[in-house]
Amino acid sequence: MALDRKLYLLDANTLITSNGVYYPQTMVPELWAWLLHQCQNNRIKMPVEIYEEILAGKEDILTRWLKKPEVKDSLILQEGADPSAVAHVTFNGYAVDLNENELAYIGRDPFLISYALSSPTERCVVSLETSKPSAQRQNRKVPDVCKALGAQCCDVFSMMKALNFKTGWDK
What is the number of domains present in the chain? 1
Q: Which residues contact 151 (CB under 8 A, 6 or more apart)?
A: 113, 116, 117, 120, 123, 124, 125, 145
At 162, the pLDDT band (50, 70, 90 cuts) reads very high
d(CA 150, CA 145): 8
pLDDT > 90: what percent of the chain?
A: 92
The predicted pLDDT at position 1 comes to 42
pLDDT tens-digit readout, 35-81: 999 999 999 999 999 999 999 988 999 999 999 999 999 999 999 99
Instruction: Assess if residue 43 is contained within a domain.
Output: yes
Share the mean pLDDT of the chain.
94
Residue 85 in any domain: the answer is yes
pLDDT digits (tens, 9 = 90+) for 106-117: 999 999 999 999
**pLDDT, tens only, 90-107:** 999 999 999 999 999 999
What pLDDT does residue 24 have? 92
Full residue range of the structural domain in which residue 85 is found: 7-162
Q: What pLDDT score was predicted for residue 87?
A: 97
What's residue 3's pLDDT? 54
Residue 2 located in a structural domain: no
Q: What is the pLDDT of residue 4?
A: 60
Residue 130 domain flag = yes
Q: CATH number, domain at 69?
A: 3.40.50
The span from the CA of 22 to the CA of 14, in Å, is: 10
**How would you write the chain as a 3-class SS string?**
CCCCCCEEEECHHHHHHHHHHHCCCCCCHHHHHHHHHHHHCCCEEECHHHHHHHHCCCCCHHHHHHHCHHHHHHHECCCCCCHHHHHHHHHHHHCCCCCHHHHHHHCCHHHHHHHHHCCCCCEEEECCCCCCCCCCHHHCCHHHHHHHHCCEEECHHHHHHHCCCCCCCCC
Residue 127 pLDDT > 90: yes
Residues 125 and 62: beta-carbon distance below 8 Å: no
